[in-house]
Amino acid sequence: MNSWTAFSAISALVGVVSGHQQPLRDLHEQPETWLSKYGKQIDQPFSGPLAFSHIDYARCLEDESTAFDIAVLGMPFDTGTSYRPGARFGPYAIRSGSRRQRESRGYSLAWGNNPYEQGSKILDCGDVPVVPFDNALAMDQMEVAYSTLLARPLASDTSVWAQGAALAKDGRAHPRIISLGGDHTIVLPILRALNKVYGPVSVIHFDAHLDTWGDYPGTVTEQSRITHGTFFYIANEEGLVANSSIHAGIRCKLQGIDDIENDESVGFHFITSDDIDDHGVAAIIERIRKRVGDTPIYLSLDIDVIDPGLAPATGTPEAGGWTSREVKRIIRGLAGLNFVGADIVEVAPAYDHAEITGTVAADIVHDFLSMFISQGPPKPANLPGMWPREGL
């Protein structure tokens, strides 16, 4: 076959093949958009901006038009620690631990509700831009930030917390804030802010440690007195804490009985971690509720109340703590009390493994939301296929 014959044969074959090919689309047709083909650009559990549980996020401190009923607020402060630092990354870790949670899938069998579907506007207000070089300045920043959000009008026409307005000095309902620490020192500026609205408050304090000690050795200035182990002592000096407060989960080492006598003078009774074995969850709930009564209540939860085998990422771990399930059950039993705010502190993700502490903390924040909007402890459910719970 000469070259001309071969070229003619190949040309004929190309013509036959190309005659059967069809373009994928009309070259003049507009390409289909993502929205028309796939719908909204949803966030997967592992994607999207890092807001708590993928809820709406706003810079509430600068955008004064934002309204909410419950705010999630990060306080990335950790320069009041006495041992291991790192809780400034706590707000990040807790939000990261919440990524599998979302508004549309917030129903809990334990609570019998979805806190995002109870009529309250819940908003992630970002973090207080705390200066890490000056503790006195940081204390003021956190107090001003909390007071700023506390003064906002509610987003909803009516509050799910019926007693809120009656307990406030100005007779109006105020938003409530769940703070993400940060070390436990953040509670002092929070109590200072709350005092302007409610006066002295009872504190329910979940912790392995008392945090009512006086000055640490070597403190020579007023600011150096304020640490994550002394803030309640300072709060008592300033008249911020009511003499109806209580610790839960205590198991730390002490200097002696003098520490307990000092603790009582600050306004606290206490429940040890061992009490859960001797008395049980129901009795612990009853003791806490009886202690705080119908006063305005602030709940502060140090993640080290949970055993470090289950929540290792914290600055001052103590062996022999409660399980996350026990803590969650106690929290459910406290619903219906007059909570003015809550926090979870001392999550330091540098010491975590597989995000287990951040995940636990995020789940407890979800419990706080349900606790805020519930009128009382949830009743045992009897659902199809569920183990019958009559008499419980």
Q: What is the pLDDT of residues 99-113, one digit of tens each?
A: 999 999 999 999 999
For residue 368, pLDDT over 90 is answered with yes
* Choice between 332 and 160, residue whose per-residue pLDDT is larger: 332
Q: What is the per-residue pLDDT for 23?
A: 57
- Cβ atoms of residues 268 and 232 within 8 Å: yes
- Cβ atoms of residues 202 and 337 within 8 Å: no
Q: Place 390 in a pLDDT band, splitting at 50, 70 and 90.
A: low
Give the Cβ contact number of residue 330 at 10 Å. 23
Q: Place 381 in a pLDDT band, splitting at 50, 70 and 90.
A: confident
- 281-292 and 324-333 helices, crossing angle to 10°: 40
Q: Place 387 in a pLDDT band, splitting at 50, 70 and 90.
A: confident
Q: What is the per-residue pLDDT for 391?
A: 59
Q: What is the per-residue pLDDT for 11?
A: 55
DSSP 351: G
* Choice between 340 and 224, residue whose per-residue pLDDT is larger: 340
* Alpha carbon distances (Å) from 114 to 86, 120, 164, 184, 367: 32, 11, 22, 29, 10
Question: Which tens digits make up the pLDDT trace of 324-346?
Answer: 999 999 999 999 999 999 999 99
Burial class (CB in 10 A: 0-12, 13-18, 19+), 196: middle
Q: What is the per-residue pLDDT for 196?
A: 98
The backbone region for 35, taken as left when phi is positive above 0, alpha when psi lies in -120 to 50, beta otherwise, is alpha
Question: Which tens digits make up the pLDDT trace of 227-262?
Answer: 999 999 999 999 999 999 999 999 999 989 999 999
Q: What is the per-residue pLDDT for 388?
A: 80
Q: Which of 60-64, 117-121, 379-383 has the lowest mean pLDDT?
A: 379-383
Structure tokens belonging to residue 357: 């502490």
Q: Mean pLDDT of all residues in the chain?
A: 92
For residue 14, pLDDT over 60 is answered with no
For residue 28, pLDDT over 80 is answered with no
